[in-house]
Amino acid sequence: MSAARTCARTPKTIAAESVLRRHAALDPSSPPPMLYRWFLRPLLFLLPAETAHHLAFGALRFATAIPGVTAVLRALFRPRDPALRVDALGLTFDAPVGLAAGFDKNAEGHDALLAIGFGFVEIGTVTAQAQPGNPKPRMFRLSADRGLINRLGFNNRGAEDAERRLAKRARARGIVGVNVGKTKIVTEDAAIADYEASTARLAPLADYVVVNVSSPNTPGLRDLQAVEKLRPLLAAVQRTIERTCADRRPALLVKIAPDLSDDDVDAVADLALELGLAGIVATNTTIRRDGLRTPDDVVKQIGAGGLSGAPLHDRSLAVLRRLRARVGDRLVLVSVGGIETAEQAWQRIRAGATLVQLYTGFIYGGPTLPSRIARDLLTLAKRDGFTRVSDAIGADARATPDAHPR
């Protein structure tokens, strides 16, 4: 039977099969719906990565500008099962799966992104001054690895523009965090004032604030992760939030790189506890390139930038475990890096993440990924005997002997 089938294969069917196999490799265990998998994604992937991003995001914003469309999307996709709800950072999240920073840099489409099923959206990175970012091309797909390399360099319209947009939004629509970073032309000496300026504008409109010191694409930024530099920076941002947010103070978190040594991860965790931060977002993209399927010469040709997606999965999970062992449940841990499936999100929650985020998985998995992950998390919680997804936070975590009890 199979021999007969093999004999019937023509060069055309063999070629078609090879295309199918190549595209199937783009998907982790639970593939996206046919429309995205076989039609939209192949078309988008014909375009340069940044163009495809603007086209797809633009189409979503265009569609949701039509009266009634957002309401329909919300009715279809917004998670509403109480078992998915998470109370954290003084907020109630509809679901623990959010969109990571970098997708909606200018706060242009957060309501549309919430409507398709994200439990929260982190806008930014926003810098105090508008800036164009690095020269193009600056975003590349590594399809064989389900990864991306980007060196966008915080291209954004600046804090004043984001402030204007956020001021227009109806808070009731869902949770929007604001991620702030350093303006490129600002020197290290003036970095604190720069973060203070963007925080002063945006914190009053944010549900939570993330200080980003971990992007590899702004020269010197990651040096701010050293505790002696990070302490005054975070303390200043904290004071700015206290000064500018009289009614409701948004929680403050810090976002770290996966390339920190384990000791440095511990040091940032201890600092976050010392300063009374609400949590840590871990992790940003990596500058490492090991273990990739994409040929070395292709990777070399792409050049500098942060690698995200599946290749980041293991290190991001390891950083989460390290953080949880260090801080227990005293900080909210937001885990991000290589999450593509509900099983992976569930593993992060069981390892101690209160919330998870994704970016690259969304590019490969398509617009229904957030709602599919939310739905499947309910099944996984039931399978493992938890009434609510949040009951499983840290279920697999173990404190290490050197963790500092406080």
Ligand X SMILES: Cc1cc2nc3c(=O)[nH]c(=O)nc-3n(C[C@H](O)[C@H](O)[C@H](O)COP(=O)(O)O)c2cc1C
Q: Does 345 bind ligand X (CB under 6 A)?
A: no
**Separation between Cα atoms, residue 97 and residue 246, nearest integer Å:** 29
* Nearer to ligand X among residue 139 and residue 381 (C-beta): 139
Taking Cα atoms as reference points, which of 323, 202, 249, 205 lies closest to residue 90? Answer: 249
> Which one of 41, 201, 255, 326 is in contact with ligand X (CB under 6 A)?
255
Q: Is 215 part of the annotated catalytic residue set?
A: yes
Write out the two tokens for 380.
Answer: 């996984």
The candidate with the shortest Cα–Cα distance to 41, out of 299, 308, 362, 357, is 362
The verdict on 101 binding ligand X (CB under 6 A) reads yes
For residue 276, the minimal CB distance to ligand X (Å) is 22
Distance CA 353, CA 350 (A): 7
Q: Find out whether 234 and 227 touch, Cβ atoms under 8 Å.
A: no
The site map against ligand X for 135-154 (x = CB under 6 A) is ----x--------x-x-x-x
Q: Residue 310 has what DSSP assignment?
A: G
Distance CA 403, CA 257 (A): 21
Q: Which residue is nearest to ligand X (CB)?
A: 102
106 annotated to bind ligand: no
The whole-angstrom separation of Cα 204 and Cα 199 is 8
Check residue 365 for interaction with ligand X (CB under 6 A): no
Options 23-31, 69-77, 272-280, 352-360: segment touching ligand X (CB under 6 A): 352-360
Q: What is the three-class DSSP state of 176?
A: strand
Q: Residue 326 or 348: which CB sits closer to ligand X?
A: 348
Of the residues 215, 308, 335, 371, which is catalytic? 215
Position of tokens 């999965």? 313
Query: Taking Cα atoms as reference points, which of 289, 257, 333, 12 lies closest to residue 142?
Result: 289
Window 308-327: contact mask with ligand X (x via CB under 6 A): xx--x---------------
Residue 152 or 393: the one with the smaller Cβ distance to ligand X is 152
d(CA 263, CA 173): 40
360 binds ligand X (CB under 6 A): yes
Beta carbon nearer to ligand X, 183 or 212? 212
Q: DSSP letter at 349?
A: H
Note whether 212 binds ligand X by CB under 6 A.
yes
- CA dist 14 and 222 (Å) reads 48
Least distance from ligand X to the Cβ atom of residue 309, Å: 5
Catalytically active residues are: 215
Residues forming the site for ligand X (CB under 6 A): 100-102, 105, 124-125, 139, 148, 150, 152, 154, 179, 212, 215, 255, 284-285, 308-309, 312, 336-339, 358-361
Instruction: List binding-site positions for FMN.
Output: 101-105, 125, 179, 212, 255, 283, 309, 338, 359-360
